[in-house]
Structure 1
């Protein structure tokens, strides 16, 4: 599974993280995203890490890359991968629904 190196806030609520951001943090509480950007935009070949803290059992999933990690209270989900496939991909929590959009260009 993924190893986390350094955490940085990608933003709260809405917005977009910039291409230079490599670690993207999210929080899910009460069935909704409470922290993190609407979109993550990176250049092809960028190492991306997504971390999610959850208040209920769920699973983080990145479509198109077929990456998944369990999430639960006290056990955040973390995925690290190289964004080497260009396109737009949904990042979701299986129980909660869409979390963000990953744009690789």
Structure 2
């Protein structure tokens, strides 16, 4: 397991990423879910650094659930957002495009 630390453009807080073999994993917090809880993102610099070395992307949600998408599908279906001044450039994917691989213990959105 390799931890990856990424700071926001303001240098304030790190995003929680790690790699496990050929899987890129992001631990999701409520603030990471974008556009009325419809999409989740990965920092573009993290994606560019790891896209050729990973096959899967896992998102670990606060409810304990885990959702995944293949790296190829993520590349094909994701969209970029952010200005790199106030918000880091981020590659987003719709939550509907993720496959549930582990159920959570409580409702994701209360």
Band the TM-score falls in, shorter-chain normalisation: 0.3 to 0.5
Which of the pair has more CA radius of gyration? 2
**The structure with more helix, counted as a fraction of residues:** 2
